[in-house]
A = this chain, B = another copy of it.
Amino acid sequence: MQGRTSLEKAQDLLLNTTPVLDIVQVRLESALGRIIAEDICADSPLPGQDQSAVDGYALGSPQAAVNDRFRLISGFKLGRVPTAALKPEEAVGIATGGILPKGCRAVVPHEKSAINGSELQVLEVLKPGQNVKRAGEDYTRGEVLVTAKTRLGPGHIALLAAYGVEKVEVSETPRVGVFSLGSNVVPWQAPLHTGQTRDSNAPMLCALVQGNGGLVTEVHWATGRDGAEITAALADMLRRVDLMICTGGSYLHGASEIQRLMESIGAQSLYWDVPVQPGSHTGAARSGSRLLFALSGNPAACFVGYHLFVAPVLRALGGEKPLPEGISARCSNGFPKAAGSRRLVRGYAQYTPYGWEVEVLPGQKPSMIRSLVDCNALIDIPAGHPPVEPGKDVSIILL
The interface of chain A, by Cβ under 8 A from chain B, is 28-29, 32, 46-49, 51, 53, 55, 78-81, 95-99, 110-111, 133, 137-139, 146, 153-159, 161-166, 182-185, 188-189, 192-204, 206-208, 210-211, 223, 248, 250-254, 297-299, 303, 327-328, 351, 353, 355-356, 363, 365-370, 372-375
B98–A138 CB distance below 8 A: no
Q: Identify the closest chain B residue to A355 (Cβ).
A: B355
Is B79 within 8 A of A183, CB to CB? Answer: yes
Complex-state Cα separation, A79 to B153, whole angstroms: 47
Q: Are B158 and A200 in contact (CB under 8 A)?
A: yes
Q: A78-B184, A161-B188 are in contact. List 6 more A-B contacts (CB 8 A).
A: A51-B197, A55-B250, A95-B250, A154-B207, A155-B303, A164-B198
Contact between B80 and A159, CB atoms less than 8 A apart: no
A115 to B208, CA, bound (A): 40
- Name which residue of chain B comes closest to A28, CB basis: B203
Would you call B353 and A328 a contact (CB within 8 A)?
yes
Contact in complex: B299, A327 (CB < 8 Å): no
Contact of A327 among B137, B251, B351 (CB under 8 A): B351
In the complex, A322 Cα to B162 Cα: how many Å?
Answer: 30
A166 to chain B: closest residue by CB: B189
**Which one of B161, B207, B356, B374 lies within 8 Å of A157 (CB-CB)?**
B207
Q: Are A184 and B95 in contact (CB under 8 A)?
A: yes
Q: Is A157 in contact with B204, judged by CB distance below 8 angstroms?
A: yes
Assuming the A-B contacts A95-B183, A166-B189, A203-B28, are A138 and B194 also in contact, with contact meaning beta carbons closer than 8 angstroms in the complex? no
Q: Using Cβ atoms and an 8 Å threshold, which residues of chain B touch A351?
A: 327, 356
Q: How far is the CA of A46 from the CA of B48 in the complex (A)?
A: 64
CA distance A32 to B207 in the complex (A): 6
In the complex the two chains form, is A154's CB within 8 Å of B194's CB? no
Instruction: Contact check, A195 vs B297: say whether CB atoms are below 8 A apart.
Output: no
The answer to whether A184 touches B369, judged by C-beta atoms less than 8 angstroms apart, is: no
Alpha-carbon separation in the docked complex, A163 to B328 (Å): 36
CB-defined contacts of A195 to chain B, threshold 8 Å: 78-81, 98-99
14 A-B contact pairs sorted by A residue (CB < 8 Å): A32-B206, A32-B210, A78-B195, A79-B183, A79-B193, A79-B196, A81-B195, A111-B253, A137-B365, A137-B368, A138-B363, A154-B207, A155-B303, A155-B373
